[in-house]
Amino acid sequence: PPAGLLQVVKQCVRVPVFVMIRPRGGDFLYSDREVEVMKADIRLAKLHGADGLVFGALTEDGRIDTELCTALLAVCRPLPVTFHRAFDMVHDPLVALETLISLGFERVLTSGCDSSALEGLSLIKRLAEQAKGRIVVMPGGGITERNLQRILEGSTASEFHCSARSARDSGMKFRNPNVAMGASFSAPEYSIKVADVAKVRTLNAIAKNIL
């Protein structure tokens, strides 16, 4: 997020706020300039009150980039750090998990190297068993009110990640139907994705009933 968003969020909430460091979309193989941006973003996030950081970086052969991660972790100190779903693109997740533990990551976010946490459930459970409390294995990816119970029970996870979003129609009265800002098939300017309070409360209630 931009520094302004982080500042405002920190003023509005009391829960810990972890900031994702991601200079662009696409893969997780970063150039030297992109690494400079990531380090600068980490410093800004810390300056504006981040409680933790989230990032991921891979080598071209699908392994954890230990050299880059070590450098970024040094900039993050003393804040806790989560390795995000770049983990789902690794060549060998069981080896990658041990690498993250040795590097000092507190948590790893994963869909079990599949298209959703539900489909990757068996691997998530295997990772949690391998971790033995040395790192938090957090399922994420396609988690909803309909499948959360199954995922938590099937993975033995104590934390989970989801967007809990819904679409809200834009308040714009005038709309130009001939222009889509970068969208080929739709006009997202007139639909806004927002965190859905009702979904968050429902998910929390389900989790509290299980954990």
Q: How far apart are CA 121 and CA 114, in angstroms?
A: 9
- Structurally, the chain folds into a number of domains equal to 1
pLDDT in tens, 184-200: 666 578 889 999 999 99
- pTM metric for this prediction: 0.93
- Structural domain containing residue 127: 3-162
Distance CA 95, CA 204 (A): 32
pLDDT digits (tens, 9 = 90+) for 19-29: 999 999 999 99
Residue 176 belongs to some domain of the structure: no
- Residue 62 domain-assigned? yes
pLDDT tens sequence across 41-84: 999 999 999 999 999 999 999 999 999 999 999 999 999 999 99
Q: Identify the residue whose tokens are 């990640």.
A: 161
Could you report the per-residue pLDDT of 74-92, keeping only the tens digit for each?
999 999 999 999 999 999 9
Cβ count within 10 A of residue 204:
12
Phi, psi of 166 (to 5 degrees): -140, 160
The helix/strand/coil state of 153 is helix
180 band by pLDDT with thresholds 50, 70 and 90: confident
Question: How far apart are alpha carbons 60 and 97 in whole angstroms?
Answer: 18
Residues comprising the chain, all counted: 211
Give pLDDT tens digits for 80-125: 999 999 999 999 999 999 999 999 999 999 999 999 999 999 999 9
78 domain residue, yes or no: yes
Q: Residue 12: give its domain's CATH number.
A: 3.20.20.380
Q: Domain for residue 181, yes or no?
A: no
Mind spelling out the 3-state secondary structure of 102-148?
A: HHCCCEEEECCCCCCCCCCHHHHHHHHHHHCCCCEEEEECCCCCCCH
Q: What is the Cα–Cα distance from 169 to 190, expressed in whole angstroms?
A: 6
Residue 17 lies in a domain: yes
The per-residue pLDDT for 179 is 81
Residue-wise pLDDT for 151-169, tens only, equals 999 999 999 999 999 999 9
pLDDT at 185: 63
Supply the pLDDT for residue 145.
96
Distances (CA, A) of 119 to 3, 123, 147, 169: 35, 9, 11, 31
Is residue 142 within 8 Å of residue 115, measured between CB atoms?
yes
**Domain presence at residue 90:** yes
Averaged over 10-32, what is the pLDDT?
97
44 is a domain residue: yes
Task: Kindly report the backbone phi and psi dihedral angles of residue 167, in degrees, each rounded to the nearest multiple of 5, phi listed first.
Answer: -90, 135
Decide if 43 is inside a domain.
yes
* Upper half-sphere CA count for residue 178 (Cβ side, 13 Å): 0
pLDDT value of position 184: 61
Beta bridge partners of 54: 20, 82
